[in-house]
């Protein structure tokens, strides 16, 4: 599976479990300190899929580096659902 397709599918999985901001209480800060390697990698992949300009790989990577802690909860939900 090529990288762009994998990022797209991961983004769709992240959308299914990502918290919505409309009408919701402020989300608790993600617990980044106890994130496993798998959770961090999956969170980075979800964040890259949600980058504003996904057509630019470097920009998606920079967005993922900056915003992956916001997606730890979504990554945990997806990984826990697989078990």
Q: Which pLDDT tens digits describe the chain residue by residue (83 residues)?
A: 455 666 656 665 655 555 444 444 445 555 567 788 888 888 888 888 888 876 788 888 888 889 888 888 888 888 888 76
Whether residue 23 lies inside any domain: the answer is no
Whether residue 29 lies inside any domain: the answer is no
Whether residue 28 lies inside any domain: the answer is no
3-state secondary structure the chain: CCHHHHHHHHHHHHHHHCCCCCCCCCCCCCCCCCCCHHHHHHHHHHHHHCCCCCCCHHHHHHHHHHHHHHHHHHHHHHHHHHC
Q: Which domain holds residue 68?
A: 3-17+35-82
pLDDT at residue number 76: 86
pLDDT at residue number 22: 41
Domain count for the chain, please give it: 1
Whether residue 10 lies inside any domain: the answer is yes
Whether residue 40 lies inside any domain: the answer is yes
Whether residue 63 lies inside any domain: the answer is yes
Whether residue 42 lies inside any domain: the answer is yes
């Amino acid at each position: 599976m090529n990288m762009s397709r994998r990022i797209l599918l991961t983004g769709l999985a992240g959308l299914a479990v990502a918290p919505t901001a409309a009408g919701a209480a402020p989300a608790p800060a993600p617990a980044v300190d106890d994130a496993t390697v798998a959770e961090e990698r999956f969170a980075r992949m979800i964040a890259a899929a949600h980058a504003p300009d996904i057509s630019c790989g470097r920009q998606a990577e920079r967005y993922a580096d900056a915003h992956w802690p916001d997606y730890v909860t979504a990554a945990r939900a997806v990984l826990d659902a697989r078990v």
